[in-house]
Structure 1
Amino acid sequence: MRKIIAEPLTKDAFAPFGDVIEAEEGTSFPINNGKTQRFHDLAKVEVGGENARVMVSIARGQPYDLPLTLNMVERHPLGSQAFMPLTSSPFLVIVCPDESGRPGVPRAFITKPGQGVNYARNTWHGVLTPIGEEQDFLIVDRGGEGNNLEEFFFPEPYEIHLPER
């Protein structure tokens, strides 16, 4: 099995695949008479296709055992897909570059508390992968007509490991 070591999630490292969603001082301003700090425009939400609309959901994910065997990735040709954890627990983020319509070698990232991701439209990515405990996630993605899911099964799986401490 081919081994991939997860790396810390950073905006620069993740930029080819979408947006890292996190509250940073440079993206904020006060609202509600100064009682609230708004962290503004943190991700590019993309929706396309017939009768497309932005959809907000909550998903409850069960934790995965590690190391993770990665057999499959998916992508959404009609819209982006954002996941923001509603807890402070980390989760794995797995993405692949597109190589002529097929996923290339995966990259794995581990989030820190307060980080979420927005997968850009057509980005190959792994499934929602909580670590350690059940987690709830706010999801922002595309609703509407049309097939917005493409799956790819690797002929030989990858094994995803957390970095050694």
Structure 2
Amino acid sequence: MMPVDANVKKIIAQPLTAEAFQKYGQVVSVPRGDDGQSANNNTAKRFNFLGNVQNLRSDAKANMCVFRCQPVAMPFHMRMLEKHQYSNQMFSPMNAQRYLVIVSLGGDEPDLQTLAAFVADGTQAINYNAGCWHHPMIALDTTIDFTCFVHENGTKDDCTVTQTKEQFFVHI
């Protein structure tokens, strides 16, 4: 671990809630107090319109892929963020474990004054808005497979990566 000095900031991750995450995207989960709609010959309940799908490039294709993420030690030393300017990006855990979500608003560069960290449980998927700065997925306790949905066209514009000007340790 890097020695802590005045240039290293501490962030405390909060439990992930739809309200706290709304400026960055959507938390996709079964809504509390919503019985859903009957589906599949009454063998299921369906919950609709839980996240926004954004594709801002006509030549980009929907890409459903899987990320296998190894757990990291805490506190987590954050040094970079990325964004997908032209597409939302959704991650849904396939093996129900908690994970860390780090996000920031901003334009060409992240606005580190808006940096936030959340702990998601295994029942919550996240859907980043197009242009939302975020850290790649961070598994906490064990290896997690995530289904990911994003629109891409295979160019450098699919993902913008930047090293942060400040360093942060994220604690849970």
Q: Same fold (TM over 0.5)?
A: yes
Displacement of 1:27: 7.1
Q: C-alpha distance in 1, partners of 2:61/2:102?
A: 26
User: CA 1:62 to 1:41, structure 2 compared with 1: closer, same or farther past 3 Å?
Assistant: same
Q: C-alpha distance in 2, partners of 1:41/1:54?
A: 18
More strand by share: 1
Deviation by residue 1:68-101 (Cα, 9 ceiling, x = unmatched) = 0000000011101000101221000000121x53
Displacement of 1:50: 3.9
Q: C-alpha distance in 2, partners of 1:116/1:33?
A: 26
Summarize the alignment of residues 9-88 of structure 1 with structure 2, pairs less than 5 Å apart: 9-24=16-31, 25-26=33-34, 28-88=36-96
Determine helix, strand or coil for the equivalent of 1:84.
strand
Determine helix, strand or coil for the equivalent of 1:12.
helix
Q: C-alpha distance in 2, partners of 1:74/1:27?
A: 36
Identity across the alignment (%): 27
User: CA 1:116 to 1:27, structure 2 compared with 1: closer, same or farther past 3 Å?
Assistant: farther
**Runs of 5+ consecutive residues of structure 2 not aligned to the other structure:** 1-7
Please, what TM-score do these two structures have when normalized by structure 1? 0.92
Determine helix, strand or coil for the equivalent of 1:113.
coil
On the 8 A contact 2:92/2:125 being kept in 1, the answer is yes
Q: C-alpha distance in 1, partners of 2:154/2:140?
A: 33
Determine helix, strand or coil for the equivalent of 2:147.
strand
Q: C-alpha distance in 2, partners of 1:143/1:127?
A: 17
* RMSD of aligned alpha carbons: 1.4
**Runs of 5+ consecutive residues of structure 1 not aligned to the other structure:** none
Q: C-alpha distance in 1, partners of 2:67/2:46?
A: 24
Q: C-alpha distance in 2, partners of 1:34/1:91?
A: 33
1:159 aligns with 2:169: yes
Please, what TM-score do these two structures have when normalized by structure 2? 0.88
Determine helix, strand or coil for the equivalent of 1:102.
coil
Deviation by residue 1:121-162 (Cα, 9 ceiling, x = unmatched) = 000001110111001111111122542111111123100000
